[in-house]
Chains A and B, each alone.
Chain A
Amino acid sequence: MSAEMQETDAAVVVSIEAPGMESGDFNIRVEGNPLSISGKRSYSKQREQGRYHITERAYGSFQRTISLPFEVDDSKSTAKYKHGVLEISLPKSVTLQPRRITIETG
């Protein structure tokens, strides 16, 4: 389960390669820090029939725990699953976001 973490000004995006799952199969937990993702890839029913010549693909349970580089706002976190990649977007906690300070002229 290769995982990557990408940081932008406003958020951190964690991507995990998890082909052959359904979006409901993931269990994502963010309670402050770290982020924890778990799930299970089950054998398909089709697997029972026929015989296998090569089996390189992995099945079963997995878990990844990733330390986040900063405090995130877990209430605004979102996740999507596309082409077998789970992408979790965690916005930076408001206190950490860059603020522009305007100079008052007086």
Chain B
Amino acid sequence: MTAFHALTDLHRELGRVFDDRPLYRHTPATNEASSWSPQVDIKEDEGGFTVIADVPGVDPADVDITLDNSVLTIRGERESETQGLRRRERFRGSFLRQFTLPESVDESGVKASASNGVLQVTIPRSAKAKPLSITVEGE
């Protein structure tokens, strides 16, 4: 790892702790090669974060989502017939996307669902990070 990488990692870590910026793109370790990465949208609302990824042609059973050390990893495999192809535009093989989660999320509450080639991972905010509204009591 170069000094520059160490510095960006430190920056990311500090941002995670103090600034609490949401869902940093996490650069995969060099030993994790993948042939394509799905396109994602990341949304934040009161409840938490939602990662929406386009994974057309991937069986939901072939998707593996892990959470380790605040790093959310979405990986999987897309294989399809290549025999007799006259036109080839689609990527095949393994895919990988990683995101660093902020401190304020409830890691145990992460849920995932898939429909029509779209994967949706919901990451709830932890109870203490939810905005609290305090009403002022009158006399």
Interface residues of A (CB under 8 A from B): 2-8, 12, 15, 17-22, 46-47, 49-58, 66, 69, 81, 83-85
CB contacts (< 8 Å) of B57 on chain A: these are 15, 17, 83-85
With A17-B56, A21-B116, A83-B116 in contact, is A53–B43 under 8 Å at CB? yes
With A6-B84, A20-B116, A84-B117 in contact, is A52–B56 under 8 Å at CB? no
B90 touches A19 (CB 8 A): no
**Inter-chain pairs besides A2-B91, A46-B43, A52-B41, 4 sampled, C-beta below 8 Å:** A6-B84, A6-B85, A17-B117, A50-B50
CB contacts (< 8 Å) of A17 on chain B: these are 56-57, 90, 117
The 6 closest A-B pairs by CB, nearest first: A84-B117, A50-B45, A19-B117, A84-B56, A2-B89, A17-B56
Most buried by A among B43, B55, B56: B56
Interface residues of B in 15-68 (CB under 8 A from A): 22-23, 25, 39-46, 50, 52, 54-60
CB distance from A9 to the nearest CB of B (A): 9
CB contacts (< 8 Å) of B87 on chain A: these are 3-5, 66
Binary per-residue interface labels of chain B (59-82) against chain A in the complex, 1 for a CB within 8 Å, 0 otherwise: 110000000000000000000110
With A2-B90, A52-B43, A57-B52 in contact, is A83–B58 under 8 Å at CB? yes
CB distance from A5 to the nearest CB of B (A): 4
B88 interface residue (CB < 8 Å to A) = yes
Residue of A nearest to B51 (CB): A54
Interface residues of B (CB under 8 A from A): 22-23, 25, 39-46, 50, 52, 54-60, 80-81, 83-91, 116-118
A69 touches B90 (CB 8 A): no
Complex-state Cα separation, A18 to B56, whole angstroms? 7
Complex-state Cα separation, A56 to B99, whole angstroms? 15
CB contacts (< 8 Å) of A5 on chain B: these are 85-87
CB contacts (< 8 Å) of A19 on chain B: these are 54-56, 116-118
A84 touches B86 (CB 8 A): no
Task: Pick from B22, B60, B90: contact of A53, CB below 8 A.
Answer: B22
